[in-house]
A = this chain, B = another copy of it.
Amino acid sequence: MKKTEPRTLSGFMELLPNEQILFEQMKKTIEDTYQQFGFLPIDTPIIELSEVLLAKAGGETEKQIYRFQKGDTDLSLRFDLTVPLAKYVAKNYGNLSFPFRRYQIGKVYRGERTQKGRFREFYQCDIDIIGDGELSILNDSELPSIIYTIFKKLGFEEFTICINNRKLLNGLFEEIGQKENSTEILRIIDKIEKIGKNAVIEELKKLGINPENINKIITFIEIKGTNEEKLQKLEKLNIKNEQFIKGLEEIKQTLKYIGIFGVPEQNYKLDLTIARGLDYYTGTVYETFLNDYRELGSVCSGGRYENLADYYTDKNLPGVGISIGLTRLFYKLNELQLIRANQKSVSKILIIPMLENLEKPIKLTTELRNLGIKTEIYLSDKKLKTKMKYADKLQIPYVIVIGEDEIQNQKVKIKDMKTGEEISAEFNSNDIANKLTNS
């Protein structure tokens, strides 16, 4: 028979089981934390009507969309979880309780040019809190404590949640008469990490901003010191613009309560350079960096927006949210060996029968499973060596070999595959479970 080469599309992550185990553990850590903070699950389709999904989209994103016809219907694959959330909330408004706290973890699709570490199919892990008409600024302080909890649980210590408020920047732009250019200026400032200060100044010049005002912008984004010192310097800029003053008030409040929500001081800071390129955000913005791997980019980002769903509904739905791009994060952490896919099996015990009649080994297996112990039994008729090799290759922690002797004496030996040590136990599931707990 002619064979088709079994291959996976480039830009689509497909992991070996040991990597997948680790990926699932990380996903579960994120999901459990979202639940710990009282967020509700939702699950929206991957395929939507193009008319609905692209109601708000445009520019770069639209080019990347997977869009196609099925029969007469114009369909698209979702490119994020925010637009589906907007649709969901607008559609189900009457059936939801506000503030609506939801999480969604799922795959999204962007037909980017393929390059190393860039994915066309990737998991986003999102939470958002949506208010009906209003949403307290205190919610902006709660989200960093969720980011903090997750990255701690994932085993990181040295990371910084950077916080800014778009009203500060927008107010500054208004103050210097550059309101119309604000999106463009934000885009330029956002690149300062990548291209450096001088290149930013050059780009601002090209926009036609005069040196004095460029100086104000640069002075602003170069404000340094502790959070407290930065806030004082912002006050001293003496900007009278209303939006700026509101932003300053908001960021003060936000920073104060982040600590109260339990985030240690070394894990968050006011960073006036982050803006999140998108036009979308209107208040608080977040980016999160691993201190020693800033080149990795932000591992968790988000922010506050005025109105989630204005393309679908007249209701005013302000919100604040964050997103973790898990596929890229996993790829990068794995590449840097900051995580290790050491676990090759989910089973704790492998039962190896060396008998004609498998009745007793199978019964023991079932009993162990019923006690909640992840157990496998090797069912094929092979040599002991082959069976042990299977346990070795999968690094199953414990092995119990059952032959005629074990049946007759009603005793087994639990072999610890790491140390080689053997623990004696009665031929019954409870005693085996006890011995494992104590070992």
Which residues of chain A from 109 to 150 have a CB within 8 Å of any chain B CB?
109, 111, 120-121, 131, 134-136, 138-139, 142, 145, 149
Please report the C-alpha to C-alpha distance between residue A16 and residue B109 in the assembled complex, in whole angstroms: 24
- A260 contacts partner chain B, Cβ-Cβ < 8 Å: yes
Question: How many chain A residues touch the partner (CB < 8 A)?
Answer: 103
B7 touches A52 (CB 8 A): yes
Stretch binding the partner chain, chosen from A228-236, A280-288, A372-380: A372-380
Please report the C-alpha to C-alpha distance between residue A107 and residue B312 in the assembled complex, in whole angstroms: 27
Please report the C-alpha to C-alpha distance between residue A379 and residue B1 in the assembled complex, in whole angstroms: 66
B95 touches A16 (CB 8 A): yes
A346 touches B9 (CB 8 A): no
A311 touches B3 (CB 8 A): yes
Instruction: Provide the residues of chain B in CB contact with A276, threshold 8 Å.
Output: none
Which residues of chain A from 356 to 389 have a CB within 8 Å of any chain B CB?
358-359, 362-363, 365-366, 369-370, 372, 374-377, 379-381
Please report the C-alpha to C-alpha distance between residue A249 and residue B393 in the assembled complex, in whole angstroms: 33
- A219 contacts partner chain B, Cβ-Cβ < 8 Å: no
- A262 contacts partner chain B, Cβ-Cβ < 8 Å: yes
Which residues of chain A from 76 to 112 have a CB within 8 Å of any chain B CB?
86-88, 90-92, 95-99, 101-102, 107, 109, 111
- A347 contacts partner chain B, Cβ-Cβ < 8 Å: yes
Instruction: Provide the residues of chain B in CB contact with A23, threshold 8 Å.
Output: 43
B366 touches A145 (CB 8 A): yes
B15, B40, B135: the one within 8 Å of A20 (CB): B40
B139 touches A44 (CB 8 A): no
B1, B6, B136, B346: the one within 8 Å of A52 (CB): B6
Instruction: Provide the residues of chain B in CB contact with A69, threshold 8 Å.
Output: 68
A residues contacting B by CB (< 8 A) are 1, 3-9, 12-17, 20-21, 23-24, 35-49, 51-52, 55, 66, 68-71, 73, 75, 86-88, 90-92, 95-99, 101-102, 107, 109, 111, 120-121, 131, 134-136, 138-139, 142, 145, 149, 257, 260-262, 309-314, 345-347, 350, 358-359, 362-363, 365-366, 369-370, 372, 374-377, 379-381, 390, 393-394
